[in-house]
């Protein structure tokens, strides 16, 4: 069973902006403005996305998130960086009671069969710029505050907007829908658009300053570099200690005890993957199991090791089409999707979470 342990990143804090001069706690400065920020860099169940010049979304997100943390802790925020997937990081952020949850990613143009074209000629400016998402059922205030500091910074202008996860992706993203606090999902730029990629690669300091500035504008907290703030408390130290001990245990189905194999649904899924998606996925199905209550478990080999990490829109379309095909079988009432029996792994790769897809709530878009 896979377990996601959450590692920690260190930062030195000072009253001088970006010029540390005194020892401080790794997670907050010598003073505390009362706000807790959880930063969640791209993870995708450990499957990276690559752009122009082999730009790594995961590595860039980690480096950028560290710089955002540096700025915020210098201002008096308590900041924790998650190192797990969407499910683990959301759970940890909720447990901590953070005031704002901020996933940090970069965007991509593409699909299962797309190739990255990074030439400087005939650039697609429609797939460029910054996007900050909020949950369709929650306020856009935090997302707007971050975008207001980021917009017009990237070379691309195709996006530079705030929108809901449902409008952009067609699904509720777990780190937006399942958080108990406001959240803003930052797609900094398109790593498949060369000017954006070079900007993200070379301008991390200015990008981090903008993201931190947007977070600060949203909270309205004191900036402890210029205002008096109380000394950090024992309670905060105890909270950090608990965060360091946190381990998320993935949800794994016992497929051998789940029900009986349904070869008819298996055949329909294999045909769908072969006809409409990457042909290599047609060999990814391990099996379909159904119990007497009409609950189905669909188990695959990990898609990430076969097709990598397609866009969120493509993943949403994949799950939507799978649901359509499976719910055509009248005995099916609900569906679980797993990678080698692991429900969390599939949910982290898609970023939709540990979802049970139910017939009575199924529509053409994922709920």
Query: Tell me, what's the pLDDT at 363?
Result: 56
Looking at the fold, whether 244 and 266 belong to one and the same domain comes out as no
On whether residue 367 sits in a domain, the answer given is no
Do residue 239 and residue 137 come from a single domain?
yes
Query: Mean of the per-residue pLDDT values for the chain?
Result: 88
Residue 273 and residue 229 share a domain: no
pLDDT category of residue 124 using cuts at 50, 70 and 90: confident
**Residue 314: which domain range?**
255-361
Q: Say yes or no: 135 and 273 in one domain.
A: no
Number of domains in the chain: 2
CATH number of the domain bearing residue 18: 3.40.630.40
3-class secondary-structure state, position 188: strand
pLDDT digits (tens, 9 = 90+) for 10-22: 232 332 333 333 3
- Rounded distance between C-alpha atoms, residue 93 and residue 97, angstroms: 6
Tokens of 361: 């709530």
Based on the fold, state whether residues 120 and 213 are members of the same structural domain: yes
CA distance 104 to 106: 7
Within 10 A of 111 (CB to CB), how many other CB atoms are there? 14
Other beta carbons within 10 Å of 275: 10
| Contacts of residue 235, Cβ cutoff 8 Å, sequence gap at least 6 | none
Say if 366 falls within a structural domain: no
Q: Tell me the whole-structure pTM to 2 decimals.
A: 0.89
- Would you say residue 170 has pLDDT above 50? yes
Distance CA(191)–CA(50), nearest Å, equals 7
Averaging pLDDT over each range in 24-28, 120-124, 291-295, which range is the top one?
Answer: 291-295
The separation between the first and the last C-alpha atoms of the chain, rounded to the nearest angstrom, is 28
Please compute the mean of the pLDDT values over residues 322-334 and round it to a whole number: 97
Q: What is the pLDDT of residues 189-221, one digit of tens each?
A: 999 899 999 999 999 999 999 999 999 999 999
- Could you write out the DSSP letters of every residue in 312-350? HHHHHHHHHHHHHHHHTSTT--EEEEEETTBHHHHHHHH
The fraction of the chain above a pLDDT of 90, given in percent, is 71
In this structure, the answer to whether residues 162 and 291 fall within a common structural domain is no
Please tell me whether residues 30 and 127 are part of one structural domain: yes
How much is the pLDDT for 126? 80
pLDDT of residue 339: 98
> In this predicted model, what pLDDT tens digit does every residue of 237-257 receive, in sequence order?
889 889 989 999 999 999 988
Looking at residue 62, its pLDDT comes to 97
> Of the spans 178-182, 227-231, 361-365, which averages the highest pLDDT?
178-182
Structure tokens given for 143: 């997302």
The closest alpha carbon to 175, from 348, 36, 331, 320, belongs to 348
């Amino acid at each position: 069973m896979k377990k996601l342990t959450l590692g920690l990143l260190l930062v030195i804090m000072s009253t001088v902006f970006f010029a540390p001069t005194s020892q401080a706690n790794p997670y907050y400065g010598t003073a505390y403005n009362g706000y807790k920020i959880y930063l969640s860099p791209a993870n995708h169940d450990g499957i990276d996305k690559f752009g122009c010049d082999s730009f790594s979304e995961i590595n860039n997100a980690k480096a950028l998130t560290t710089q955002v943390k540096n700025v915020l802790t210098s201002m008096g925020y308590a900041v924790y960086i998650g190192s797990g997937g969407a499910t683990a990081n959301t759970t940890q952020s909720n447990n901590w009671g953070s005031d704002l949850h901020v996933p940090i990613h970069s965007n991509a143009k593409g699909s299962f069969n797309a190739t990255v074209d990074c030439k400087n000629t005939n650039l697609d400016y429609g797939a460029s710029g910054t996007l900050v998402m909020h949950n369709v059922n929650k306020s856009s205030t935090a997302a707007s505050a971050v975008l207001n500091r980021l917009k017009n910074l990237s070379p691309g202008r195709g996006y530079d907007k705030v929108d809901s996860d449902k409008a952009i992706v067609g699904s509720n993203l777990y780190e937006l829908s399942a958080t108990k606090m406001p959240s803003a999902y930052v797609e900094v730029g398109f790593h498949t658009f060369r000017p954006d990629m070079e900007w993200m690669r070379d301008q991390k300091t200015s990008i981090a300053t903008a993201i931190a500035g947007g977070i600060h504008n949203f909270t309205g907290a004191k900036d402890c570099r210029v205002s008096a703030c109380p000394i950090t408390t024992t309670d905060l130290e105890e909270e950090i200690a608990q965060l360091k001990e946190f381990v998320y245990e993935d949800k794994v189905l016992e497929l051998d005890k789940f029900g009986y194999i349904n070869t008819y649904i298996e055949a329909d899924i294999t045909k769908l993957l072969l006809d409409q998606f990457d042909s290599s996925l047609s060999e990814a199905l391990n099996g379909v199991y159904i119990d007497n209550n009409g609950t189905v478990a669909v188990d695959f080999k990990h898609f990430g090791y076969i097709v990598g990490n397609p866009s969120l829109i493509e993943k949403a379309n994949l799950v939507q089409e799978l649901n359509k095909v499976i719910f055509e079988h009248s005995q099916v009432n609900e569906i679980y999707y797993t990678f080698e029996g692991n429900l969390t792994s599939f949910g982290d790769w898609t970023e939709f979470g540990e979802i049970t897809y139910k017939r009575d709530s199924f529509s053409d878009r994922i709920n």
